[in-house]
Chains A and B, each alone.
Chain A
């Protein structure tokens, strides 16, 4: 997947979980859960959707590398096959 495709998938899934938050209004280096007001269940659902869409395994031990929009994009850039 290209980085643009990964970004499109991330924006789509974030919108599905937090439809009231505009991606353009968030701090892409800020805490993902704070910026989108999502809880542990939402985050798990986000990871599940991203894992399906990108093929990345996204183990729980890597969650710390997915803490912001930019961190998530960088992580998926290397983790997605």
Chain B
């Protein structure tokens, strides 16, 4: 009879929850589903990233009473960086009035892309996801602003070329790519291979399996090959291990560059001062010295509305990236509100707002983010924006930007994007829009 009680209890609970009633939404609020991951092997990276966006939304609400008076409301859903969970989350939340989603994982992005026009939800995958989705003619609902993996790969090669004293010096150089064996990690290979043919360097690709603790074989190979440069395309614990292994191997960290997901505090802090000199890409500044951040500290955390223990993340690389996601979203929303003269923005309007976003440097300064990133201008055909990449370096205590904005080799990357997008359009019988 215990079982009977259990069954009845469960049944009652199911009935009470009533899976999801039709969403009732106030006219003066805008709903955001947030697919975040605060558990699982990638949690140390997921937490600051999620907090950044939420802290910014909170700040906009508290300081300005929302975007033009429209309060931002959101709901988090835990994905644990797992595609199935993420899909379940999105399906559950999209009906509550979602207009934008940040899939926060390459796998989830791929899954959501085909249905985006049907769901009328903008997919913003800043610096991750499907690179060829930057072609707005084939993927009207997907935005990769401000930059993509392929752009970054070409920018890295440009940077290495500059360090070597000219692109012609790359000939015969050995570059090793250590990558997370997943869709994410494989993204740059095509670009790097193409550039290798063009510039004459020798590319070695070394895969590391999820979650990435096991890298002994990889580094044995590095020891044997002695590459001139290492590119690290890792995520989560894989980064920490790779940096530690690089130190153990005695590799000169100045010649090791991580992708922007391999360049956060959690990646280098375990190795502490020994990781000094390690470099990583990024598309925004590091550190907390921006007027906006001081204000967030005061307005959000000062009022006790922030996350418990959340203040320590302010100024961290991934937290800053979360802020950028929030800024792009609210600016696109503002854009849409202005154009359509509405308060709450629907999916189509939001898409317009993103597509016509011109986040200038003076606007960034107004927001208290002077010099945080380069201006982002999205167009109908180009959903990536200008895609500038910065190089930052760990000095043992914090990340410092050490390069100017490096423009990616658009002449190489853009044709690749267009070719790949055209193949997608053909396979899926999509007629590209005219732009």
Say whether A and B bind each other: no
A interface, CB within 8 angstroms of B: none
Taking beta carbons and an 8 Å cutoff, which residues of B are in contact with A? Answer: none
